[in-house]
């Protein structure tokens, strides 16, 4: 029982010390959780956005590289057209326009490398020589080049589609993030309102508690002062003066003690009183059991003396009065004694 009481006291102190803290910080815990979710959401979507942006930049650069390379190689052909126009002796108006437009295009497109220009000059000389390259060979060669250029154009088109898809994914990511962030912001705003409301309620409760404490403290102090005056000056009772001092001490306790102490001390006194009463009951039960055992043994070894001397005394002590004022045995007590004897295994 003592061990149980100690555990109960310990649990009570921990509970009283923590309850107010838990109650006051519950919304903060929920707020912290929401703040953590918002932070994690931002991290998650920053990773997604950074990955998406990296892919966009890579795809875009790849498109630019392919376009520049294609344009540069196309410009080699423009350079070849310009050279071919210059080689012709009798130029007509169409020949001049071809040369003018070719030169204009050459200035706009990425310039070929010197190696490409040298290679193109050699290529023109070779292709103009009918003994080296036939017209059918030229037709076949440039048909293959057209097919290859179509493939390269398709690759650029596919890369542009990939780029558009990545841009659409970015828009989706932004929308999804905005929706989730909006939901979390709504929860945060709700918790902020609850926090303000709870804070106002706590302030009101503290104010009410202060006022109540002040009333109790002033009342206890005034009562203590009266007891001291009565005890010392009028009734000459030191005990009453001590009670007055205790009342004043109680007023100070009420005014200064934390709230959990105000709740805890009475509960501890209550539990402690219960433990003391239980221990006293247990002690008295042990004495009572011993007395019952001793009487039973006396009855067994000296039945005549028991009936003659002890039984009338027990009847008088444990009996009850009938309507005539005569003491008679109390059957309920007799049953209880029989029950105790059976529990003691002596009947």
Q: What is the pLDDT of residue 197?
A: 83
- Range list of H helices, the chain: 2-87, 93-108, 114-128, 135-229, 238-256, 259-301, 303-305, 311-318, 331-343
Residues 159 and 286 in one domain: no
Q: Average pLDDT over the chain, rounded to whole?
A: 80
Residues 68 and 162 in one domain: yes
Which residues are registered as beta bridge partners of 321? 327
Q: What is the pLDDT of residue 22?
A: 43
Kindly report which listed range (153-157, 239-243, 278-282, 326-330) carries the lowest average pLDDT score: 326-330
Q: What is the pLDDT of residue 144?
A: 93
Residues 41 and 163 in one domain: yes
In-domain check, residue 224: no
Total tally of structural domains belonging to the chain: 2
Residues 190 and 267 in one domain: no
Q: What is the pLDDT of residue 263?
A: 62
Q: What is the pLDDT of residue 75?
A: 92
CA 176 to chain centre: 22
Q: What is the pLDDT of residue 19?
A: 43
Look at 177 and 18; give whichever has higher pLDDT.
Answer: 177
Query: pLDDT above 90 covers what percent of the chain?
Result: 26
pLDDT band at 259 (very low <50, low <70, confident <90, very high): low
Residues 88 and 180 in one domain: yes
Q: What is the pLDDT of residue 261?
A: 61
Q: What is the pLDDT of residue 16?
A: 44
On the CB side of 69, CA atoms within 13 Å amount to: 11
Residues 271 and 190 in one domain: no
3-class secondary structure, 328: strand
pLDDT band at 1 (very low <50, low <70, confident <90, very high): very low
Give one word for 345, left, alpha or beta, with left for phi > 0 and alpha for psi -120 to 50: left
Q: What is the pLDDT of residue 3?
A: 43
List all residues 6 or more positions away from 22 whose beta carbon is below 8 Å from its beta carbon.
none
d(CA 84, CA 142): 16
Helix H or strand E segment including 320: strand 320-321
In-domain check, residue 150: yes
Residues 184 and 273 in one domain: no
pLDDT band at 21 (very low <50, low <70, confident <90, very high): very low
Answer whether residue 15 shows pLDDT above 60: no
Residues 289 and 181 in one domain: no
In-domain check, residue 71: yes
In-domain check, residue 251: no
In-domain check, residue 101: yes
Q: Which of 197, 212, 227 is the last residue in one of the domains?
A: 197
- CA distances (Å), origin 11, targets 63, 110, 162, 257: 71, 84, 65, 20
Domain extent, residue 291, equals 261-343
Answer whether residue 296 shows pLDDT above 90: no
In-domain check, residue 12: no
pLDDT band at 335 (very low <50, low <70, confident <90, very high): confident
Residues 281 and 176 in one domain: no
pTM (global) more than 0.85:
no
Sole residue written with tokens 């009101």: 204
Sole residue written with tokens 């109390």: 330
d(CA 345, CA 254): 53
- For the chain, state the CA radius of gyration: 54
Report the first-to-last Cα separation within the chain, whole angstroms.
30
Q: What is the pLDDT of residue 167?
A: 92
Q: Which of 197, 228, 252 is the last residue in one of the domains?
A: 197
Kindly report which listed range (123-127, 157-161, 291-295) carries the lowest average pLDDT score: 291-295
3-class secondary structure, 218: helix
pLDDT band at 112 (very low <50, low <70, confident <90, very high): very high
Question: Tens of pLDDT along 123-153?
Answer: 999 988 888 888 899 899 999 999 999 999 9
Query: pLDDT above 70 covers what percent of the chain?
Result: 83
In-domain check, residue 13: no
Q: What is the pLDDT of residue 266?
A: 64
* Highest mean pLDDT of the ranges 9-23, 136-150, 226-240, 316-330: 136-150
Q: Which of 176, 197, 218 is the last residue in one of the domains?
A: 197
- CA distances (Å), origin 12, targets 1, 16, 219, 261, 276: 16, 6, 29, 11, 18
d(CA 138, CA 219): 119
């Amino acid at each position: 029982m003592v061990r149980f009481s100690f555990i109960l006291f310990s649990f009570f102190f921990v509970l009283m010390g923590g309850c107010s803290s838990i109650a006051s910080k519950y919304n903060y815990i929920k707020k912290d959780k929401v703040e953590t979710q918002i932070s994690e959401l931002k991290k998650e979507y920053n990773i997604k956005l950074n990955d998406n942006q990296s892919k966009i930049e890579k795809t875009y650069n790849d498109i630019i590289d392919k376009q520049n390379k294609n344009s540069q190689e196309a410009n080699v052909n423009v350079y070849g057209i310009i050279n071919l126009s210059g080689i012709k002796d009798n130029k007509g108006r169409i020949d001049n326009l071809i040369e003018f437009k070719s030169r204009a295009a050459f200035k706009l497109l990425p310039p070929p490398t010197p190696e490409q220009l040298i290679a193109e000059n050699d290529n023109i000389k070779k292709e103009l020589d009918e003994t080296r390259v036939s017209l059918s060979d030229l037709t076949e060669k440039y048909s293959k080049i057209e097919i290859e250029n179509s493939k390269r154009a398709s690759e650029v088109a596919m890369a542009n589609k990939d780029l558009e898809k990545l841009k659409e994914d970015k828009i989706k990511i932004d929308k999804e993030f905005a929706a989730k962030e909006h939901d979390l912001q709504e929860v945060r705003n709700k918790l902020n309102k609850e926090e303000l409301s709870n804070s106002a309620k706590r302030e009101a409760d503290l104010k009410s508690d202060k006022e109540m404490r002040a009333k109790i403290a002033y009342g206890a102090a005034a009562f203590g002062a009266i007891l001291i005056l009565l005890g010392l000056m009028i009734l000459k009772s030191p005990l009453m003066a001590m009670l007055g001092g205790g009342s004043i001490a109680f007023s100070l306790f009420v005014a200064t003690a934390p709230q959990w102490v105000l709740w805890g001390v009475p509960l501890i006194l209550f539990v402690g009183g219960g433990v003391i009463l239980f221990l006293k009951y247990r002690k008295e039960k042990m004495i009572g059991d011993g007395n019952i055992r001793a009487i039973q043994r006396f009855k067994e070894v000296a039945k005549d003396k028991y009936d003659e001397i002890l039984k009338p005394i027990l009847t008088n002590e444990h009996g009850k009065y009938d309507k005539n004022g005569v003491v008679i045995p109390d059957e309920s007590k007799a049953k209880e004694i029989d029950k105790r004897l059976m529990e003691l295994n002596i009947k």
